[in-house]
């Protein structure tokens, strides 16, 4: 009697995608403006990408087109895409989420962003496109114009995924758009050929925001600056005052060249409401002011470094830039009461002294966490401080080099087992590791419907679990909600087939019938390699 083994699967039902029309997007007109050589973060487009009919989605690609006469080599150095963050509306640099500079596509005078993976929440994702200008004056006295457009959807191979030459907005659900009508900003922005500097530096705070409350009598304010033009900051000054007070500007401390990073030690703080402003001037005399922002100081008790504590979850971590160590700091006052809103600093211990890596205010429970990572194999000594006092002892984190991946497992050479009362099948490799087959499609990529060599046993307790068995090398795979098709290679690596022509080249005209589906639950079994173009 022929036996058939049934695999337990998580079933995902994909609803048919409904294309988005122009009316599904929300567009905000950008007014007439004049931009100058060397300027950046100049808002050129503002629109909201819709969700998937009340369900979260993922943005995968965006294209914008310039209807004006400015092109990459004349006027525009870069177009940058942002997702709204911080206060509602465009803030750009160091505030909104930077999705990167677009790739210029000269045949249509457009820019595209692909390989995105930005969550579209319910109620939509607000996006901005800003322009950055070249710092060199044009050869001729010509003003260039910018009039950005979100073009009507063009999906040349009708696969729901962006390829070079396509246009519009692409999302994971394939409800791409706009399908009916492009959106073009009504006004032009002009890039002037004037070669002078027209604006002062932009100054931001790293660790202060409007409306913030702090609970300590000293606070190190940190920030960054970048000149809005072709120069750099000559100075940055700060002014902190209560309502009705008149105070002088004070110099901040320069940390890196031209005040790219800076700090100011605010000491002797008392309870109350404060206003903080900055002023900066560049080397050609352009002055800029920012603020005021409002800060409330509420000191609840005297900080005790002795009563406070530091804990580290690990002291060794891979130097891969993503693996992290968590440092937890708990702050208490002299009466051993939880001390909220206490500013805590994580510092690197260097030859020249302590260097602030990060600073945070403790929450209502007096607790704050820091995450540490590195891409460089090294030993780094850290010290937590607050109110200029050491909290806990110094600790050393060992960032270790990532070792080369293990040799490729041969999933066709070993033993195959199942339990007597179960249907799941396992592969036992030559190192005696047990690897589950996550779906029947994975099994079939190796052996079709042949289970004749699977042995039945009463227990698997003597085995150690390894990774799930991946699709057989050379298999084409995709997930139900992502249109991208990947080629499986050794060591669980998958490579995206960026075009239909590449798929046909490698797998023939009937390549689509070879694609196997994998539930999202097992997508993390794989590592992305370079795309096949």
With a pLDDT cut of 90, the percent of the chain lying above it is 59
Ramachandran sector of residue 353 (left: φ over 0; alpha: ψ -120 to 50; beta: rest): left
pLDDT per residue over 158-212, tens digit each?
988 999 999 999 999 999 999 999 999 999 999 987 777 788 899 999 999 899 9
pLDDT exceeds cutoff 90 at 376: no
Give 399-415 as a DSSP string: EEPPPPPPPPP-TTSSE
Q: How confident is the model at residue 4, as a pLDDT?
A: 43
Over 90: is that where the pLDDT of 213 sits?
no
Q: What is the pLDDT of residues 244-299, one digit of tens each?
A: 999 999 999 999 999 999 999 999 888 889 999 999 999 999 999 988 999 998 77
* Per-residue pLDDT band at 138 (split at 50, 70, 90): low
d(CA 194, CA 34): 11
506: CB partners within 8 A, 6+ apart? 487, 497, 532
Q: pLDDT at position 16, please?
A: 37
Give the residue-averaged pLDDT of 70-82.
Answer: 92
Look at residues 151, 123, 146 and name the one whose alpha carbon lies nearest to residue 52.
Answer: 123
Q: Which residues contact 427 (CB under 8 A, 6 or more apart)?
A: 411, 414, 415, 416, 434, 435, 437, 469
> For 443-452, how does the pLDDT look when each residue is reduced to its tens digit (9 = 90+)?
999 999 999 9
Q: Which pLDDT belongs to residue 282?
A: 93
Average pLDDT over residues 219-245: 93
| Model confidence pTM above 0.85 | no
Query: How many whole angstroms separate alpha carbon 195 and alpha carbon 142?
Result: 12
Q: Which residue, among 3, 11, 4, has the nearest Cα to 439 in the 3D structure?
A: 11
For residue 221, give the nearest of 138, 104, 337, 343 by alpha carbon.
343
């Amino acid at each position: 009697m022929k036996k058939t083994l049934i695999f337990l699967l998580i079933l995902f039902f994909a609803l048919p995608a409904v294309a988005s029309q122009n009316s599904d997007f929300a567009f905000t007109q950008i007014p007439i403006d004049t931009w100058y050589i060397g300027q950046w973060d100049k808002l050129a487009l503002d629109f909201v990408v819709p969700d998937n009919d009340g369900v979260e989605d993922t943005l995968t690609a965006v294209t914008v087109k310039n209807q004006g006469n400015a092109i990459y080599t004349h006027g525009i150095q870069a177009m940058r895409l942002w997702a709204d963050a911080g206060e509602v509306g465009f803030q750009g640099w160091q505030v909104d989420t930077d999705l990167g500079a677009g790739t210029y596509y000269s045949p249509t005078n457009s820019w595209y962003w692909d390989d995105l993976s930005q969550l579209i929440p319910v109620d939509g994702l607000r996006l901005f496109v800003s322009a950055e200008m070249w710092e060199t004056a044009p050869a001729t006295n010509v003003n260039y114009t910018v009039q950005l457009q979100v073009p009507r959807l063009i999906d040349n191979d009708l696969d729901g995924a962006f390829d070079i030459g396509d246009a519009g907005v692409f999302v994971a659900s394939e409800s791409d758009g706009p399908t009916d009508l492009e959106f073009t900003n009504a006004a032009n922005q002009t890039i002037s050929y004037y070669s002078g500097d027209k604006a002062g530096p932009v100054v931001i705070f790293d660790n202060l925001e409007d409306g913030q409350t702090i609970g300590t009598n000293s606070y190190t304010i940190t920030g960054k600056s970048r000149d809005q033009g072709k120069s750099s900051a000559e100075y940055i000054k700060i002014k902190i005052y209560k309502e009705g007070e008149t105070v002088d500007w004070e110099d901040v401390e320069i940390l890196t060249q031209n005040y790219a990073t800076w700090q100011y030690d605010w000491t002797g703080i008392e309870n109350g409401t404060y206003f903080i402003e900055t002023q900066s001037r560049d080397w050609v005399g352009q002055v800029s002011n920012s603020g005021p922002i409002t800060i409330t100081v509420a000191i609840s008790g005297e900080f005790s470094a002795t009563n406070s504590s530091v804990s580290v979850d690990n002291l060794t971590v891979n130097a891969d830039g993503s693996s992290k160590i968590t440092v937890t700091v708990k702050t208490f006052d002299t009466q051993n009461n939880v001390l909220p809103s206490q500013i805590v600093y994580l510092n690197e211990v260097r030859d020249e002294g302590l260097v602030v890596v990060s600073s945070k205010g403790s929450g209502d429970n007096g607790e704050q966490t820091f995450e540490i990572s590195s891409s460089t194999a090294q030993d780094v000594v850290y010290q937590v401080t607050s109110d200029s006092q050491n909290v806990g002892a110094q600790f050393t984190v060992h960032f270790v080099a990532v070792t080369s991946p293990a040799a490729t497992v041969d999933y066709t050479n070993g033993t195959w087992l199942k339990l007597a009362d179960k249907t799941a099948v396992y592969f036992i490799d030559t190192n005696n590791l047990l690897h589950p087959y996550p779906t029947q499609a994975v099994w079939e990529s190796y052996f079709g419907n042949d289970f004749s060599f699977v042995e039945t046993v009463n227990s698997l307790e003597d085995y150690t679990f390894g990774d799930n068995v991946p699709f057989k090398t050379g298999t084409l795979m995709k997930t139900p909600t992502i249109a991208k098709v990947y080629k499986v290679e050794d060591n669980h690596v998958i490579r995206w087939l960026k075009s239909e022509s590449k798929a046909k080249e490698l797998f023939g005209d009937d390549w689509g019938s070879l694609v196997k589906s994998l539930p999202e639950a097992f997508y993390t079994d794989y590592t992305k390699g370079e795309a096949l173009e």
